[in-house]
A and B are shown apart, each in its own frame.
Chain A
Amino acid sequence: MLGGHFSKISTTSSFNLCYNQVCVQSVRYARKPRWLPTAPSKVFRVPERHVLPHDESIEWQRLNNNYRTQINSLRRYLIKEVEEKKKNREMNATPADEEAEFQRCLAINESWNQDIAKMRTLRIEEENEKRREQILINIENKVERQQKQKEIVEEKIKREQKAAESFITRENIDQAIERALANPISYDFCIDLDGNRKGDSIVKEESKIIEEQQQP
């Protein structure tokens, strides 16, 4: 569709393609409008008429006749049946009868309810039993869990108590300081890939060098 495509351009350009008759293209619909005459290619077309073969048409007629008769009789029978039902309902509709019918229904309903109540009590008992078992299992599990936790905590406390012996407190802080000064430890050394210590600490060596320099 050229018209739609060029409509935006046409507002700015002096040469308007939209109004140029050469570029106008009509939309083609799927169907011929009602007001147009028969297409020239279809004017002399005669639609083919389907004809039933003679024997088939006779058979068709016979079947249809039978069918109609049967249906009519069936229909009449059903209509009569419905009418009779209606009549019976009207005739039997005394209050006493209705009451009796209601009582009968009530009795049936009662028996059904009893059956279902039995099933329900059984089911609830089973469910309760299952629940009781589950709760007992849960309690056991909980006790076990708590026991384990207790053990872990006790172990931790023991470890800490053992470690507390070597803690530096207010009483032994002077001794600790003296010990530290007396035994200077340097961690400034090399290790190889296996973690083995290689040579002395660098700090020591440096101090040695300084001492040597100072001595002479």
Chain B
Amino acid sequence: MASKAFENVKMLPRIRNALSPASGTGQFYERSAKSIRLFKQGCTNRPFFQIVVMERRKPHYEPVIEQVGTYDPMPNKYNQIMVSFNYERIRHWIGHGAHISTPVLELLGLSGFYPIYPKTYMKAWRARATEAKKETVQESS
């Protein structure tokens, strides 16, 4: 999937390096394995993730192929955890055989695009069990 714009960027490595890693300047082979994964941004004590498409073999700090969403794990002032997806592009990349990392699978499951990831169920029932245990302890005391 080497578009024309990408070809131009490929010609000018200096410009490509000046752009931020999430600008979609990552170089890739057409038939290489891609992965949709979290890309950590933010700073000290303030995590923030971009959901990006990258070549699967590449380390996380390299330029990405495309950004397809964001994930903010810290609750905002309304106690919400914000996630955004570009479903159209995610469909496109999955259709091209992209792999998806576990945390992104969980998010996609919760957002309703994919079936709920089994780990989410497990977390839920374990949380319920601990809650029940706490209640029994409180009642007995």
Contact = CB atoms under 8 A, between A and B. Distances in A.
Interface of A: 56, 60, 63-64, 66-67, 70-71, 74-75, 78-83
A64 B102 CA distance: 13
Nearest to B90: A78
Which of B97, B117, B118, B125: most chain A Cβ within 10 A? B118
Given A63-B122, A82-B95, 7 more contacts: A67-B115, A70-B115, A71-B114, A74-B94, A79-B96, A81-B91, A83-B95
Interface residues of B, number: 13
B96 A82 contact: yes
Contacts of A67: 115, 117-118
A75 B94 contact: yes
B91 A78 contact: yes
Can you list the 4 inter-chain pairs with the closest CB atoms, starting with the nearest? A82-B95, A63-B118, A78-B95, A70-B115
28 contacts: A56-B122, A60-B118, A60-B122, A63-B118, A63-B121, A64-B118, A66-B115, A67-B115, A67-B117, A67-B118, A70-B115, A71-B114, A74-B94, A74-B115, A75-B94, A78-B91, A78-B94, A78-B95, A79-B94, A79-B95, A79-B96, A79-B97, A81-B91, A82-B91, A82-B92, A82-B95, A82-B96, A83-B95
Interface of B: 91-92, 94-97, 114-115, 117-118, 121-122, 125
A195 B124 CA distance: 96
Contacts of B97: 79
A40 B75 CA distance: 46
A123 B115 CA distance: 51
Contacts of A66: 115
B95 A81 contact: yes
Contacts of B118: 60, 63-64, 67
Given A60-B122, A63-B121, A71 B115 contact: yes
A66 B115 CA distance: 9
A69 to B, nearest CB: 9
A88 to B, nearest CB: 14
